Amino acid sequence: MSRVHKIFRKFYKIGLVLFLAIFLLFIFDEIQNLDIKRYLSEHYISEGVQETGAINLVTSVLYDYRGFDTLGEATVILTAAATLSFMTPIKKVKMLGTEFTIIIYQTIIIIIPFLVVLGMNLIFFGHISPGGGFVGGVILAMIPILVTINYGITFSENKLKPNHKSLLEGIGAIGFILLGLLGIFAGSNFLASGQANFGLGNPGELISAGLIPYLNLMIGIKVGAGLAAIFNSLIKEG
């Protein structure tokens, strides 16, 4: 009896999932045949470079038109890092370690400068080439993660203390908000850089696009420090 019941429940779940899949198939069919004109994205494509000064349109959407969204994302990362730091013990430092060969230790030493250069390049050229603060921050966060995996958590936390990581993260968050307040002081809205005429410059040069490079730098610092803190909190638990 119980076995029949279990089999029935299993088939019931599978049938439910298949039914919902067919339902979604019809909805996607409708979406695909919908013929709409995308006025907003056409406006961004035709006017975005003049209005924001950044030739990377994703960056201009992310940091100028929708700067508030980005502030929300930064808050999400800050909340996740804070939650993980609260949940893990501060004193007990222990992790499962393995011994690697000397090849790996020496390769990490060679790789780290290239990672710094790549991350900084992605952050500072975020408005004129593919990249941006989030991607560059992730690449920068790989350095503490590699050091932690290879040399152990004690060495890693001696080199870059958790207090310094949280300080860097706070600098990123507060800097983003202060740069946003500059828009209000210039007589425009919060987080406005294109509307407030902060020296947009020639599109395509390094120092152009108003506040966007500085906002990119703040987000990069914040994401890098936040991800390193998250990883160290997760690995400390073991």
Partner 1 sequence: MELPYVVVIILFYLGIYTIIMNKNLIKIVVGVNIVESSLILLLILISFKLGGTAPILDRKYELVVDPIPQALALTAIVIGGSLIAVMLALVIKIYKRYGTLNVDEIRKLRG
Q: Report the nearest approach of partner 1 to the CB of residue 94 (Å).
A: 13
Q: Report the nearest approach of partner 1 to the CB of residue 235 (Å).
A: 10
Is 56 a residue that touches partner 1 (CB under 8 A)?
A: yes
By beta-carbon proximity to partner 1, the closer residue of 89 and 97 is: 89
Q: Which residue of 1, 4, 40, 109 would you call a contact of partner 1, by CB under 8 A?
A: 40
Taking contact as CB under 8 A, which single stretch among the options 34-42, 102-110, 112-120, 168-176 is the one that binds partner 1? 34-42
Is 134 a residue that touches partner 1 (CB under 8 A)?
A: yes
Q: Which residue of 6, 8, 11, 69 would you call a contact of partner 1, by CB under 8 A?
A: 69
C-alpha distances out from residue 102 to 96, 105, 191, 231, Å: 19, 5, 49, 24
By beta-carbon proximity to partner 1, the closer residue of 156 and 233 is: 233
Q: Which residues are CB-contacts of 234 (< 8 A; sequence separation ≥ 6)?
A: 84, 88
By beta-carbon proximity to partner 1, the closer residue of 17 and 207 is: 17
Direct distance between the N- and C-terminal alpha carbons of the chain, in angstroms, rounded to an integer = 43
C-alpha distances out from residue 234 to 50, 79, 84, 179, Å: 44, 15, 7, 32
Is 178 a residue that touches partner 1 (CB under 8 A)?
A: no
CA distance 221 to 74: 11
Provide the 10 A C-beta neighbour count for residue 11: 10
Q: Which residues are CB-contacts of 237 (< 8 A; sequence separation ≥ 6)?
A: 88
**Helix, coil or strand: residue 189:** coil
Q: Report the nearest approach of partner 1 to the CB of residue 102 (Å).
A: 32
Is 166 a residue that touches partner 1 (CB under 8 A)?
A: no
Token output for 57: 């349109």
C-alpha distances out from residue 224 to 19, 141, 171, 219, 231, Å: 43, 4, 12, 8, 11
Is 205 a residue that touches partner 1 (CB under 8 A)?
A: no
Site for partner 1 in 93-112 (CB under 8 A): none
Residues making contact with partner 1 (CB under 8 A): 10, 13-14, 17-18, 20-21, 24-25, 28-29, 32, 38, 40-41, 44-45, 48-49, 55-58, 60-62, 66, 69, 73, 76-77, 79-80, 83-84, 87-88, 128-130, 132, 134, 204, 223, 227, 230, 233-234, 237
